[in-house]
Structure 1
Amino acid sequence: MAQHGLMDVDLAEQVSSLRQELAALKKAVGRRSSDFYENAGDTFSDYLSDVSQRIVPGFRRQARAVERAAYDHPAAVATVGLLIIALMAGLVLGARSSDESAESLVKRARQAAGRRS
């Protein structure tokens, strides 16, 4: 029986030791995760900065070209603007009329169902 008591004490010491090691590992993982998060943020920021430095000049050139074309051809710009307005109005009115036709179909179906009953 004395051996059984020693095994219990030894097992308790091992569990205690494992708990301490687990706590130390949790702290180490927490520190590394924090470092990784900070490095990832810096890396992503550097990547975005690099991409913007490459892309923005191209956009500026295109914007200047569009500006020059609009200045040189104001009638074309007005025509395109009117076409866009007409397209939007057609979409809005078309959606409204399709809603109304759907409602009228539902009413007809209810009326037909009422006659059969």
Structure 2
Amino acid sequence: MNVVVELWKVTKALDGLLEKPVAKAGREETIAAIEQLLQRRDELIAQLAPPYSEEEERLGREMVALNQTIAQKLQQLKQQIQQDLKALKQKKKANENYTNPYQEAFSMDGMFYDKKR
């Protein structure tokens, strides 16, 4: 199979995978599939060699446009994961404060310093 055509198919598969909303429950499997497709794309890109036919050039232009949308979707997925991690940290801190409320009670507020001596 032609390298450009196979690269186009992998790019379309990656775009199709990112089109679907990623549920929190199946996020790890989706990320593993994305990593696999990106690795396959890297291998195929390394195999590209000119000259290209008109059909291959058309597929290349389509892949450039798809790459821009793929980059945006990957950025959105990254932001979603960062928000979830931030919420998890906040929950963890709230839980720690609830179980041990006096852990950070060493503040200097409210102390009295006697100057008369």
Fold shared by both chains (TM-score > 0.5): no
Give 1 or 2: higher helix fraction: 1
What's the TM-score, normalizing by structure 1?
0.41
What's the TM-score, normalizing by structure 2?
0.41
